[in-house]
Amino acid sequence: MTAHTHGDGHQHPHPRQPDVEDRPLTYHMALTAAVAELLVAKGVVTADELRRTVEDIDSRHPGDGARVVARAWMDTAFKARLLEDVNDAAAELGIDCGGIPIRAVENTRRLHNLVVCTLCSCYPRMLIGLPPDWYKARAYRSRAVREPRAVLREFGVTLPDDVELVVHDSTADMRYLVVPARPDGTDGWSEEALAAIVTRDCMIGTALPRSDAPRSGGG
Ligand code: FE
């Protein structure tokens, strides 16, 4: 704890809040800053355009992907278009995925899909937001391909032996969206209620949607 004096003269302790500036920049942080500065200096992009792009990426969230999955559950023709081309199908719902190809992989009673980026952190950010920290961790990146069933068990997903497990390794040129199977007990649900049980992890393949999950929105 540190203490400092406020305008009213009294002193009280504050928890120490580390600043990013307290640590030296890593190589890639410095490289990023240098490239951004150059792009602006050379007039390739303006600082405002850069800011707006980052703001756009930061504003993306799993709710968009969940809407896409829920629509696919409701509408088989939409699901066919989604499996054909995620970017085009998402655009039908007003979601701009930014043009990087995303492939939808569908879970069935016989097949489960799991997504990883073994190299770094490639992820369909424009559709489901920023990846969780564990997705970028070395343990997940290496173990998801080596012992995927054990990894899934740690996430609380135990796959029956007769379910085939396919692990998809993302790249900068190809991201993946898991389309989970619609759980039993959801007949007659609204699209909104269905979307509410499609969590981020369901779309990575480390969780399964549950009809008994606590959910917001009417059923
Ligand atoms: Fe990557």
Same domain, yes or no: 148 and 104: yes
Q: Is residue 52 part of a domain?
A: yes
Please state, in angstroms and rounded to a whole number, the distance separating the CA atoms of residues 181 and 70: 10
CA of 63 to the centre of ligand 1 (A): 22
CA of 129 to the centre of ligand 1 (A): 15
Q: How many CB atoms lie within 10 A of CB 68?
A: 28
Q: Which helix (H) or strand (E) holds 68?
A: helix 62-74
Q: What is the pTM of this model?
A: 0.83
Same domain, yes or no: 48 and 12: yes
Of residues 59, 97, 122, 211, which has the active-site annotation?
122
Please state, in angstroms and rounded to a whole number, the distance separating the CA atoms of residues 165 and 206: 12
Report the domain count for the chain: 2
Share of the chain above pLDDT 70, in %: 88
What local confidence, expressed as pLDDT, does residue 99 receive? 84
Residues 62-85 pLDDT 10s:
999 999 999 999 999 999 999 999
Same domain, yes or no: 20 and 74: no
Q: Is 191 helix (H, G, I), strand (E, B) or coil?
A: helix
CA of 7 to the centre of ligand 1 (A): 48
Catalytic: 120?
Answer: yes
Range of the domain at 88: 61-203
CA of 141 to the centre of ligand 1 (A): 10
Same domain, yes or no: 38 and 117: no
Q: Is residue 211 part of a domain?
A: no
What's 176's domain CATH number? Answer: 3.90.330.10
CA of 169 to the centre of ligand 1 (A): 9
Same domain, yes or no: 34 and 98: no
Q: Is residue 115 part of a domain?
A: yes
Q: Is residue 125 part of a domain?
A: yes
Same domain, yes or no: 10 and 102: no
Catalytic: 59?
Answer: no
Same domain, yes or no: 6 and 108: no
Q: Is residue 91 part of a domain?
A: yes
Residues 119-159 pLDDT 10s:
999 999 999 999 999 999 999 999 999 999 999 999 999 99
Catalytic: 117?
Answer: yes
Same domain, yes or no: 93 and 81: yes
CA of 145 to the centre of ligand 1 (A): 14
**218 pLDDT tier (thresholds 50, 70, 90):** very low
Query: Cβ contacts of residue 93 below 8 Å, gap of 6+?
Result: 64, 67, 68, 71
Same domain, yes or no: 88 and 119: yes
